A and B are shown apart, each in its own frame.
Chain A
Amino acid sequence: MNFNLNPNLSQKIAYTFLAMATIIVIVPVLTVIFIIVKNGWSALSWEFLTTMPTDGMRAGGILPAIIGTLAIVSCAICITLPIGVCAAIYLNEYAKDNLLTRIIKLAIVNLAGVPSVVYGLFGLGVFVMLLDFGVSIIAGALTLSIMELPVIITTARGALNSVPYQFREASWSLGVSKWQTIRRVVLPNALPGIMTGAILSISRISGETAPILFTAAAFYVPHLPQSPFDQVMALPYHLYIISTQIPNMPKNIIFGTALVLLLMVLSMSLIAIIARIYFRKIRKW
């Protein structure tokens, strides 16, 4: 269809379309953020962040939801990060390149794409019921940590892989053992990549609703969590409840809750993005 056109003209037309497509993609993102900030800003106050909800959640603050999310997410990352990094070290540095290893790598890549609601089912079946943790912080944290495990393993392997193989050889050739080489040369240089990946993971699981829907989240709990076996309120689930299940909910509280969640998640992503740009700049090789 472009064959009759002057190539320069068709190039101009194509560029215009590409630019327009980019604008169509970018503008809604900024609009979503803008809408939430504009409508939620008025609800944001110290009191909103630090008090319990009152009046059937139509007034008061969202403290228990914030605490709940922090509790679940911090437990989850404490479980998944060490296991994930160790598994990545194993796969990247120790595992022999045989059929089994290849199957495992393939499975891990593919598990990263399994829907989060399916992880929720798994968590319900295994942690809530089979292991009898009940609907609790620990069950939710375990569910999220298993969901995030493939992602952590994949990013950590990427970070380990980006450390040049020659560094390992140089270290081995000096009589340094495999583990000492990993500890003193490979890990220090892979750490920035692993940490930015971890921050992105924290950001991602903070906003997840489906996996905690049946494993940790409660509609309303009148007190803050006392033990890891308590049910908790959680920010994303709280947002779901107040925006769909409660009639006559004041708009600014819903938007305020959405804003808190968004700020939490986006600030962490931003930190990760900036950290990555920074580390790439100061990278020594």
Chain B
Amino acid sequence: MVTKENDKITVENLNCFYSGKQVLKNLNLTVEKNEILSIIGPSNSGKTSFLRTLNRMNDMNVNFSREGNIYLDKENIFDMNPEKLRTRVGMLFAMPIPLPMSIYDNIAYAPRVLGLKNRKNMDEVVEQSLKDAYLWDEVKDRLNASAIKMSGGQQQRLCIARILAIEPEVILFDEPCSGLDPISTAKVEEAMLKLKQKYTIVLVTNNVKQASRVGTRTAFFLMGELVEVDTTKKIFVSPQNKKTEDYITGRFG
């Protein structure tokens, strides 16, 4: 394993399978500290499978198996307690999934269960998380309202706030704007760019333009393989691989 000082996540020879069918092939990739790594590629290219391996959500699926290793700060995540890992590597799903409770409780849920904060500090945690997710002004007067009744964009930012409340080191975004309108998308992207200063971000997106807008670096996945990874500028201006060029110029996918 060769890791540089600046590497947050190092993926080494990763192969993943669902019910024996290979979805990721011999993947080697690093994610650097405080960057946004965008992962683009057509559907079924293994992007989401990769993301769900990074916080071991795939462990919940009995049909899943894998070979190879992933290191978070030089520590193999497959040797870690998966629950502990998930507090360090937060995840935002494609569809916003607020839990069926109040806005306040959604944020306070994980810190309470994990015993991270005492009750006095909880108000501060909730406020700070909502502020960081650019939601505070919209909801500060109705924190006890049900989270289910919010708009889609607000729900997605609530889900971001919920992750921030457990203070992770890495945040995984799984096509976070696929169900959102352009204005809500812009707000989520704005939040992401701010979050980059404090967190390391891996973004899976079907939207090539989104990758070009927010990505520090961009990786292109095809059929479970990593075709190319480089700075976003290079990928979009002078991709090394023909397939990458075809994809980002809209010839397939």
State the CA gap A170–B87 with chains docked (Å): 12
Q: Which residues of A contact B87 (CB under 8 A)?
A: 174-175
Are B86 and A167 closer than 8 Å at their CB atoms?
no
- Interface readout for A155-196 with B: 1 if CB under 8 Å, 0 if not? 000000000001101111111110010001100010000000
Contact of A284 (CB < 8 Å), options: B62, B97, B100: B100
Whether, in the assembled complex, A96 has its beta carbon less than 8 Å from a beta carbon of chain B, the answer is yes
Residues of A within 8 A of B110 (CB): 171, 174-176
A173 to B60, CA, bound (A): 11
With an 8 Å Cβ cutoff, the count of chain B residues facing the other chain is: 26
Q: Which residue of A lies closest to B92 (CB)?
A: A173
Binding site for B on A (CB under 8 A): 96-97, 166-167, 169-177, 180, 184-185, 189, 284-285
Q: Nearest chain A CB to B142's CB is how many angstroms away? A: 15
Tell whether, in the assembled complex, residue B83 and residue A285 are in contact, meaning their CB atoms are under 8 Å apart: no
Query: Does residue B136 face the partner (Cβ distance < 8 Å to A)?
Result: no
Q: Is the interface of A mostly helix, strand, loop or mixed?
A: helix
When A174-B163, A175-B87, A175-B166 are in contact, do A167 and B97 touch as well, CB less than 8 Å?
Answer: yes
Q: Once bound together, how far apart are the Cα atoms of A5 and B55, in whole Å?
A: 66
- Known: A169-B57, A173-B91; 8 extra A-B contacts, CB below 8 A, are A166-B97, A171-B110, A172-B57, A173-B93, A174-B90, A175-B83, A176-B114, A284-B146
Tell me whether A96 and B62 are in contact (CB under 8 A): yes
Pull 17 A–B residue pairs with CB atoms less than 8 Å apart, ordered by A. Answer: A97-B62, A169-B57, A170-B93, A170-B99, A171-B99, A172-B60, A173-B91, A174-B90, A174-B109, A174-B162, A175-B87, A175-B110, A175-B114, A176-B83, A176-B110, A184-B113, A285-B148
> CA–CA, A184 to B112, complex, Å?
11
Please state if B97 and A175 are interface contacts (CB–CB under 8 Å). Answer: no
CA distance A189 to B146 in the complex (A): 14
Q: List residues of chain A with CB within 8 A of the CB of B191.
A: none
Please judge, given known A-B contacts A184-B109, A189-B100, whether A174 and B86 are in contact too, CB under 8 Å.
yes
Q: Which of B62, B84, B100 is packed against the most chain A CB atoms within 10 Å?
A: B100
Is B193 engaged at the interface, CB distance under 8 Å to the other chain? no
Cross-chain contact B113 with A180 (CB below 8 angstroms): yes
Q: Tell yes or no: B227 within 8 A of A by CB.
A: no
Most buried by B among A172, A173, A177, A189: A173
Q: Which residues of A contact B148 (CB under 8 A)?
A: 284-285
B residues 85-135 in Cβ contact with A at 8 Å: 85-87, 90-91, 93, 95, 97, 99-100, 109-110, 113-114
| Highest count of chain A CB atoms <10 Å: which of B57, B91, B97, B146 | B97
